[in-house]
Amino acid sequence: MSTTPKIQVRGLSKRFGPKVVLDGVDLDIAQGESLVVIGGSGSGKSVMIKCILGLIRPDAGSITIDGEDITRLDRRGRERVMAKFGMLFQGGALFDSLPVWENVAFGLIQGRGTPRAEARQVAMRKLQAVGLGEQVGNLSPSELSGGMQKRVALARAIATEPEIILFDEPTTGLDPIMADVINDLIVSCVQELGATTITITHDMHSARKIASRVAMIYAGKIIWEGPAASIDSSGNPYVDQFVNGHAEGPIRMEVRPL
């Protein structure tokens, strides 16, 4: 078995003006692993994922996928590596101008050049896999509830059967029952694909359910990582404060008076 991590992040740094957001992030994610990244609002979780996706250019550091540094690739090389990725964006990011099935099939049609009729069939199968019937495929995303939109976004993330899937706050804004339905779907879809995943969430219930490993980001660095089962016995006061949601502790939130 190969010991090269599926994803390796080293010294990843990014600042916006004077604000240092990432300050030397190091992470290894093994093939088939499900890593959940936790951390307070504004701690740089989304910026890190955007760097991995190539949507933000880091100031320093490397990101290797299967041993290949993607920060050094030209556009074509990057497109080749990006074909390994699926993404569930925060808020779903569905196109209202396209019917649901075409949203799901977007990466197949645009990215892979799959003929529309074939892509439609795949999209309908993926919708079925997340518990949505064929009739939903012909609706507009705006006609769906928040929970259904998240399922569509999940179907889209898995449509190309990617090797790596990134989930940005997949349960935010959902009621606890629907959130758990999404958690279960993520676990089953990911297991079926054998995909490697990174999930960003504030939802500790979701983190416990999805994660094989958890990493916490604070002040631009990964300050703790460990198996999901050890999250309640980390011995790290930052992790304890976050996991238990206490206002008091070493983490100071930036709060301005109104």
Minimal distance in Å, beta carbon 245 to ligand ATP? 14
- Contacts to ligand ATP by CB under 6 A: 16, 21, 39, 41-47
For the record, the structure tokens of 109 come out as: 């049609």
Please give the backbone phi and psi of residue 28, each rounded to the nearest 5 degrees, phi first. Answer: -120, 130
Nearer residue to ligand ATP within complex by CB, 39 or 162: 39
Least distance between ligand ATP and beta carbon 31 (Å): 25
When the beta carbons of 21 and 181 are compared against ligand ATP, the nearer one is 21
Q: Which of residues 47 and 185 has its CB atom nearest to ligand ATP in the complex? A: 47
Q: Closer CB to ligand ATP, residue 41 or residue 142?
A: 41
Q: Determine the Cα–Cα distance for residues 105 and 119; give it in Å rounded to an integer.
A: 6
Q: How far is the CB of 56 from ligand ATP (least distance, A)?
A: 7
For residue 205, the minimal CB distance to ligand ATP (Å) is 16
Q: Which is nearer to ligand ATP, 44 or 86 (CB)?
A: 44
CB 57 → ligand ATP: shortest distance, Å?
11
